[in-house]
Amino acid sequence: MSRTQELDEFKGTLGDLVEEAPELKQFSGFIESAEATTVLDHKTKELLSLAIGVVTRCDHCILWHTDAALEAGATHDEIVDALKIAVVMGGGPAMTYAVDAYETLQALEAERSE
């Protein structure tokens, strides 16, 4: 399964969960308002989210926000730079997740070029 397919499947299941547990819609609303581009632009917020996903060791966050950063116009170098900051803040454990994020970046870039 491609990383894009994996992300689509995850988003679908997340939607199913929110539909079944409508209380989670409030949290989804908070996410939307926090991600609004009133001060920081969308690309910057996605790079921040990716770095935080690496530091918190969240595999799905890494996939989601790597994809979203690319969609927001982040370059390969900008994403790698965000991964470096994640490692600065998260140390050795973040380094291993930065490798996962880098592999995700490579896979998503390859899928987009097909």
Domain positions in the chain are 3-113
Is residue 27 a contact partner of residue 61, using CB atoms and an 8 Å limit?
Answer: no
Amino acid 90: pLDDT: 96
- State the virtual CA torsion across 80, 84, 89, 92 in degrees, nearest 10: 110
Nearest Cα residue to 86 out of 56, 107, 108: 56
| Whether the predicted pLDDT of 10 surpasses 90 | yes
| Whether the predicted pLDDT of 114 surpasses 90 | no
Domain 3-113 classified CATH 1.20.1290.10?
A: yes
pLDDT, tens only, 56-87 = 999 999 999 999 999 999 999 999 999 999 99
In angstroms, the Cα distances linking 20 to 13, 32, 40, 60 are 11, 20, 33, 20
